[in-house]
Structure 1
């Protein structure tokens, strides 16, 4: 797990940053630097560092502010080690209570710091593995219980693909679960012991996407303070999943085609050719043949990524699976929210079975999650205004406190806005007039997934 070798150092004094860099790079770590809490949060919004080592006393926001923001936004996926030149029992206790993993005094033996780093790596590896295990178990249960003939054929085709490493293009409307099928192809292949690395091409701007895929050398551009391993390189031996591939720009298309033809990459800022060995699975809800006619997508790249095409049917064309899906999501979401669900009101179940779900499985899950969160007696009910918009809105209206109603509105509004923008946080924030950070904080506050 290459990501676990990355550490971000946060200190306003360059001498200390350089000292830590030398010590850590000698141990094989990839080190990033930030001179303030704000700069660190900006870096973390673009690049994942599983371990952050931060000083306490810094201009403007201090290390405890940074710790609080990291725990609020990233929870257990990032561990923080507090470092200070002025150690005391009180500040150590405060750091632990705030969520820091460890507390290191600058004058102490560096071995103590390495010990804390190793502990952080073990904890994060466990969290990531548990997340992957739970997701895989849920995905397999979700797929294998399908009664739909088209889905059953797709599952048989995936079994046939297990002996091949050919490129696969998965098509279908937004929200049909293309990544779940991509992961299943990986799990069934002879690359299953390697990494499955998903990247949403639409969620990342052109310049950042190139850096994300190819990586860069230290000093390649302003702000490139460390060497960065790109995702193509990291996916070697495993599977690279490029979601929304129809959104990549012509210049990235050319570079991707070159990688697929030569099986080599060059990091930004270097002319050294690095061999890569990954299987490519791509996905899109776009009509790529039409995009080719409009000169928006390269025809040669289309044939390169489309050795095998798997088209996932929309949820409205697999209604025979709806009851099982509803039961599946209720079971899993009730466990996540720790709410005991006794059943579904008959009219609500009838609505859920007959509704066409323009947002597909993603929309079904969001509807059920909302009902579970708002359920007070363990019975799931569809809101009157959603179930029958032609009825008088005052019928069966339940008067609740303003703050609670405002919270419900925000949750529903943000969910719908994200769905319209294909879960692209930057795009959604721009559309609804919030900063990316404000929207991210709301998503975290309401535990929206």
Structure 2
């Protein structure tokens, strides 16, 4: 199912929601529901709906508030059509000024609404294509500069397997770029015009992972206030990428195996079989044969996902690529943050070239982003990182390496503090600067016990 076929209806009157649901589902749309602006924003934080149909007059925050928040947070990624039973020129002009794509009076012919929806679908498709092009350009710039024999072999393997429909297992340490490689395989495949759907199995609790993958029906469990399609259904026709698959529970592994065998799923709370056609790319940093011996991973599932295995080398084995990567990320973040960075201090560059990067490409990217964010002039210097310099964070002197999890936590705490200081402790502005949602930043403040300082 293409993303543009998903619509969220926001109306406090259940009769209107049911009417629009019947009309839209009759045209093949997947429909979500919300009874207020606040509920709609909460749903959009959990699940992407590219088109929102919103009533104007609702208890609490009205539809104009919701429209303004959607445009502020999601910009052109979500198109909004305003619904109203009391149309006026003033309200229509107000809606368009805020950013509504369309304005529909409820008493009119529903065909006019479908015309507005088709227009929204065209806008969403154009935005999706632009994002795909941007990802392709970044991937090509990032990968094509490699001079490393192991990485060149990986790229040859990608070219060889892309046109097949075989399941692929990507292995390698955390942060080596497995999702980049998975996306590259998708873009080179026959499914490239359909969706690439990444799922981080480690980031989702086991109790929620099944709902995330298979979807659920309204009322199927506490908190299931509306029907939701799962990632397998969303990836129909395209590619699903299951990252950190080694973290799945055995019970979830059984369900995944059944999907791979039957190419059918059932949403939680439903016994209806839904056919799905996707390509599976999996990734893990675990030694799955060892996990099988320990009883933590099913052997039959391992053989199903491991038709083709591609091992991605760690960054410390790609030293000849470091200079190009450093330059790439400096240019990338300088453009993104609209900073005129002229160069990098010689000592800083030398240190970055000699550092071993236990967090691999992800760590390099985070370090460069941080240096650029905190740069006070047009030359990047290591001192801008914080009072805890990289050497202290990694404890690399005297071969004393602290656990990667602790190093990452230290980095994130310093990074968040510095971003907030740059924005005078304005959480919304800091989240925007960091490229994450306000809710994600809030969760990090709670996780690291920083909430009391900034609230």
TM class by shorter chain equals 0.7 to 0.9
Which of 394, 401, 406 is 2:421 aligned to?
A: 406
Q: Does 1:311 align with 2:311?
A: yes
Give, in angstroms, the shift of residue 409 of structure 1.
10
8 Å CA contact 2:8–2:33 kept in 1: the answer is yes
CA distance in structure 2 between the aligned counterparts of 1:95 and 1:233, rounded to whole angstroms: 33
1:203–1:135 Cα change, 3 Å: same
What is aligned with 1:334? Answer: 334
8 Å CA contact 2:374–2:418 kept in 1: the answer is no
Give, in angstroms, the shift of residue 209 of structure 1.
2.5
CA distance in structure 2 between the aligned counterparts of 1:305 and 1:27, rounded to whole angstroms: 36
CA distance in structure 2 between the aligned counterparts of 1:261 and 1:212, rounded to whole angstroms: 20
CA distance in structure 2 between the aligned counterparts of 1:169 and 1:270, rounded to whole angstroms: 31
- State the Cα deviation string for residues 160-209 of structure 1 (Å, max 9, x = none): 32453222111122221101111222233444444322222223333433
Instruction: Give the alignment's TM-score, normalised by structure 1.
Output: 0.82
Instruction: Give the alignment's TM-score, normalised by structure 2.
Output: 0.81
1:405–1:149 Cα change, 3 Å: same
**Count of paired positions:** 418
45-54 or 103-112: which moved more? Answer: 103-112
8 Å CA contact 2:183–2:196 kept in 1: the answer is yes
Give, in angstroms, the shift of residue 338 of structure 1.
2.3
CA distance in structure 1 between the aligned counterparts of 2:253 and 2:277, rounded to whole angstroms: 19
CA distance in structure 1 between the aligned counterparts of 2:223 and 2:391, rounded to whole angstroms: 54
CA distance in structure 2 between the aligned counterparts of 1:238 and 1:172, rounded to whole angstroms: 24
CA distance in structure 2 between the aligned counterparts of 1:212 and 1:189, rounded to whole angstroms: 25
What is aligned with 1:230? Answer: 230
Give, in angstroms, the shift of residue 67 of structure 1.
2.1
Q: Does 1:251 align with 2:251?
A: yes
The RMSD of aligned alpha carbons is 3.2
1:228–1:149 Cα change, 3 Å: same
What is aligned with 1:66? Answer: 66
1:267–1:49 Cα change, 3 Å: same
380-389 or 70-79: which moved more? Answer: 380-389
What is aligned with 1:149? Answer: 149
8 Å CA contact 1:168–1:280 kept in 2: the answer is yes
CA distance in structure 2 between the aligned counterparts of 1:427 and 1:247, rounded to whole angstroms: 22
What is aligned with 1:432? Answer: 448
Q: Does 1:181 align with 2:196?
A: no
8 Å CA contact 2:2–2:195 kept in 1: the answer is no
1:53–1:46 Cα change, 3 Å: same
Superposed, 1:245-394 pairs within 5 Å as 245-383=245-383, 385=387, 386=389
Give the match's secondary structure for 1:100.
coil
CA distance in structure 2 between the aligned counterparts of 1:430 and 1:403, rounded to whole angstroms: 17
Q: Does 1:11 align with 2:11?
A: yes
Give, in angstroms, the shift of residue 408 of structure 1.
7.2
Give, in angstroms, the shift of residue 263 of structure 1.
2.9
CA distance in structure 2 between the aligned counterparts of 1:181 and 1:48, rounded to whole angstroms: 24
Give, in angstroms, the shift of residue 224 of structure 1.
5.6
Give, in angstroms, the shift of residue 365 of structure 1.
1.7
Give the match's secondary structure for 2:310.
strand
1:257–1:403 Cα change, 3 Å: closer
8 Å CA contact 1:171–1:310 kept in 2: the answer is yes
Give, in angstroms, the shift of residue 237 of structure 1.
3.7
Give the match's secondary structure for 1:277.
coil
